[in-house]
Amino acid sequence: MKINWGGGIVIAIVLFISFILYFVIKVQVNPKYDNELVLEEYYKHDAVFGEEMERVQNAEDLSQKPLIVNTAGGISVVFPVAFTANKIKGKLSLYRPSNKKLDFEIPISLSSPTLLIPKSNLVGGRWDINMEWQYDGKEYLTKETFYIN
């Protein structure tokens, strides 16, 4: 049996499509390749994007901003001494982009201007930190990304 060039092209295209479909099906079925969203309710989050940008701008307008620092003991959040620590309320959300199961939140309720997240609570790799906080009725949002070794 002799295959002409037209038949060769058809065979090559069918093999290529089969090759691509094999990998698509393998990635969709295997739980090792979990492709989850960063946010469950993405569209609801997008609807309040303007308010979020306003809180980010409030944080940027501060003359003394809170510092989020990667230290040997973990991640330290230091508020300026100009703020009364017990008036600061909010939450600190830590997102692990590669694994949703490692995400967690910490309420901000301070007696001193420093909040420490111990390194024992953090797995090595990238962490996205969103700090939503209020002081004297004004809302703020600070976002940072850290890499833990």
Residue 90 near residue 79, CB atoms below 8 Å: no
Give the number of domains in the chain.
2
Residues 119 and 137 in one domain: yes
Asked if residue 38 has pLDDT above 90, the reply is: no
Residues 18 and 71 in one domain: no
**Mean pLDDT value across residues 15-19:** 97
Range of the domain at 12: 1-35
More confident residue, 26 or 41: 26
Asked if residue 114 has pLDDT above 70, the reply is: yes
Asked if residue 20 has pLDDT above 90, the reply is: yes
Q: What is the per-residue pLDDT for 81? A: 86
Q: What is the per-residue pLDDT for 39? A: 63
Asked if residue 119 has pLDDT above 70, the reply is: yes
Asked if residue 36 has pLDDT above 70, the reply is: no
Residues 67 and 116 in one domain: yes
More confident residue, 35 or 103: 103
Return d(Cα 117, Cα 92) in angstroms, integer. 10
Residues 76 and 29 in one domain: no
Residues 110 and 143 in one domain: yes
SS3 track for 83-133: CCHHHCEEEEEEECCCCHHHCEEEEEECCCCEEEEEHHHCCCEEEEEEEEE
